[in-house]
C-alpha cells in the first residue's frame, strides 16, 4: 500500500520530553504541534506518557494544557485498554529498562509501526534495537530555543 496524493502522513507518538514541554506551557512546542496538526499529521498521546509529563508540573494549568493539546483535530489518546496491553507494556519495560511513561510511548510506536517524536534522541538511540522491530524516532530541536 503506497501513500498516494492526499494520504494522511503516518502518526507521531509523542514522548514525555515533548509532553513535559506542553505541560510547562512552552509556546514553541505548542505551536509546533499545532502546525503538525494543521498539516494533517496524526499525533498520538500515550496515556502513561501524559501521566509522566504531568509529574513535573502537577496542577490545573498543566492539566489544562495537556488536555487541550490532546483535543487537537488530529490528536488521539492511546490508553492501556486491557490486561493484554498491560502485560505487553510490562514486557516492553522489562526488555528496555525504560520507565513506564516512555515504555508506553515505545509500546505504542512498536505496535503501530510509527515514529516517536522527541526532544531526547539520545534516550531513544539507546533503545532503538531493544524490541523485535527497530524503534524509529524523530528528534526535534527544542522549539522554544532561539
Domain that holds residue 90: 12-139
Q: What is the mean pLDDT of residues 99-114?
A: 94
> CA 64 to CA 47: how far, in whole Å?
15
> CA 16 to CA 104: how far, in whole Å?
10
Say if 38 falls within a structural domain: yes
Q: 44 — phi, psi (to 5°)?
A: -105, 125
> What is the pTM assigned to this prediction?
0.89
Can you read off the three cell numbers belonging to residue 126?
539507546
User: Which residues have C-beta within 8 Å of that of residue 25, sequence separation ≥ 6?
Assistant: 61, 62, 65
pLDDT at position 51 over 90: yes
> CA 118 to CA 16: how far, in whole Å?
8
At 44, is the secondary structure helix, strand, or coil?
Answer: strand
Domain total in the chain:
1
pLDDT for the residue numbered 133: 80
Please give the helix or strand (H or E) that residue 13 lies within, else none.
strand 12-14
Band the pLDDT of 4: cuts 50, 70, 90. Answer: low
Say if 6 falls within a structural domain: no
Say if 5 falls within a structural domain: no
Say if 1 falls within a structural domain: no
Can you read off the three cell numbers belonging to residue 138?
524523530
Say if 146 falls within a structural domain: no
> CA 135 to CA 130: how far, in whole Å?
8
Cα–Cα nearest to 68, from 12, 22, 20: 22
Q: What is the mean pLDDT of residues 19-44?
A: 96
Q: What is the CATH number of the domain that holds 25?
A: 3.40.50.1010
pLDDT at position 3 over 80: no
Amino acid at each position: 500500500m503506497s501513500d498516494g496524493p492526499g494520504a494522511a502522513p503516518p502518526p507521531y507518538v509523542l514522548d514525555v520530553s515533548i509532553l513535559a514541554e506542553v505541560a510547562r506551557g512552552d509556546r514553541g512546542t505548542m505551536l509546533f504541534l499545532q502546525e503538525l496538526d494543521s498539516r494533517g499529521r496524526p499525533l498520538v498521546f500515550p496515556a502513561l506518557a501524559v501521566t509522566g509529563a504531568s509529574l513535573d508540573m502537577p496542577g490545573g494549568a498543566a492539566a489544562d494544557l495537556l488536555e487541550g493539546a490532546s483535543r487537537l483535530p488530529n490528536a488521539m489518546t492511546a490508553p492501556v485498554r486491557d490486561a493484554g496491553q498491560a502485560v505487553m507494556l510490562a514486557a516492553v519495560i522489562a526488555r528496555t529498562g525504560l520507565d513506564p511513561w516512555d515504555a508506553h510511548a515505545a509500546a505504542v510506536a512498536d505496535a503501530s509501526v510509527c515514529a516517536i517524536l522527541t526532544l531526547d534522541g539520545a534516550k531513544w538511540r539507546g533503545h532503538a534495537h531493544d524490541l523485535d522491530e527497530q524503534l524509529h524516532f524523530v528528534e526535534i530541536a527544542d522549539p522554544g530555543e532561539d
